[in-house]
Structure 1
Amino acid sequence: MEQVSIKNGFTGVLASVGIIAGVAFFTYAALQGEYGMFRLFQVQAQESRLLAEREVLSDSHNRLQNRTHRLSNEYLDLDLLDEQARKVLGLARGDEIVVR
Structure 2
Amino acid sequence: MTEKQPAVYILASKRNGTLYIGVTSNLIRRVWEHKNDLADGFTKKYQVHQLVWYELHETMDSAISREKAMKNWKRAWKISRIETVNPDWKDLYQSLL
TM-score (norm 2): 0.22
Larger fraction in strand: 2
Which has a greater percent of helix?
Answer: 1
TM-score, normalising length from structure 1? 0.22
Which has the higher relative contact order, 1 or 2, with Cα contacts under 8 A spaced 6 or more apart? 2
